Amino acid sequence: MLLRCPPPRTTINEPIRYHGVVETCRSNWSAARVAASPRAPTQGGGSAPVTPSQTASYNANNRGNLGRSDSQDNGSPLHGQPTTSEVARAKLEGLKVWSVSTYKCTRQMVQERLGKASRTVDLQLEAQIEVLRDTQRKYSHILKLARTLTSQFYLVVQTQRSLGDAFGELAAKSPELQEEFGYNADTQKSLCANGEVLLSALNFFTSSVNTLCNKTMEDSLVTVKQYESARIEYDAYRADTESLQLGPKDNTTQTKLQEAQLKYERQKEKFDKLRQDVAVKLKFLDENKVKVMHKQLLLFHNAVAAYFSGNQQALEATLKQFNIRPKVPGENKPSFLEQHH
């Protein structure tokens, strides 16, 4: 249900659209001018000098033909291309349309904020849009915390690997403590191996949440911004139409009213289409969000629980369940020849 109520904060960004400019070129008639005097053919196949009176007549006729060609070229485009004046008029007309539209929308926004103009509101859709924005903020916070956990746990795994290597080295050099250093080295290496598996699960979780938050939701919010801009344009032209309907009934006003009604109908069609697009995107986004987060939350729970309970088999089974391939340490490290090539 559409209602008209005092305005919330609304923004609009209407870009300037410039028409392409097609430059027309004049033919280079100067190359056609005769550099030397013409010579008349003789009976013997040669050429004889032309008299001064013939030369003057030839030059006058040639200048006349060139003048007519120049005048025809100035008045008609080449190969059906628009003239410079037509291009300039098209640019000015486009600038005029943009300026009028921008003025109307800016006036509508200011009057809404001052409480002097009504705005069209779809209560159900506006509530869904607000829920989407709040959901994106909360998911962005979860994503930030998950990335922090992943980076800090990565440092823990690297420390465990270094500690295991140090224990192993001391086990080889300290016969009296070889056994103690040995099983501590094995413990740290086992923790490091399980930590790599958990890191793979955490990276998969953060990647999926990032896609949902910064791509899927953001795409829907882009459509929402277009819908809000179309709403302002629709209300601006609606206000103009209502103002003209209350004015005098003379011929000039009736003509302006007809033009305003045509523009109003076009904006109404655009506004209705974007409103339907937003409603459809929000519906599919909600369904997709539930599916994605159900899978990711189950993965996060099972992987973290299996790691901290020391259940290596359950941790590996969790990754197989979600088709995650654990990253092998040094897998993407370049070879010795590649490093020193």
Q: What is the pLDDT of residues 312-335, one digit of tens each?
A: 899 989 888 888 877 655 555 554
Structure tokens at 249: 């009934």
DSSP string, 262-290: HHHHHHHHHHHHHHHHHHHHHHHHHHHHH
> Is pLDDT larger for residue 260 or for residue 63?
260
Judged by average pLDDT, the poorest of 29-38, 85-94, 99-108, 205-214 is 29-38
Report residue 18 as tokens.
């410039």
Compute the residue count for the chain: 341
pLDDT of 207 over the 90 cut? yes
Token pair for residue 135? 């959901």
Are 319 and 201 a contacting pair, CB within 8 Å?
yes
What is the pLDDT confidence band of residue 33, given thresholds at 50, 70 and 90? very low
How does pLDDT run across 228-261, given as a tens digit for each residue?
999 988 888 888 888 888 877 788 878 888 888 8
Q: Tokens for 271, please give them.
A: 């506004």
Buried b / exposed e along 277-311 (16+ C-beta atoms within 10 A):
ebeebbeebeeebeeebeebeebbebbbebbeeee
pLDDT band at 205 (very low <50, low <70, confident <90, very high): very high
Among candidate residues 284, 275, 289, 299, the one with its CA nearest the CA of residue 135: 289
Q: What percent of the chain has pLDDT over 70?
A: 72
Helix (H, G, I), strand (E, B) or coil at 119: strand
Between 329 and 2, where is the model more confident?
A: 2
pTM for the full predicted model: 0.65
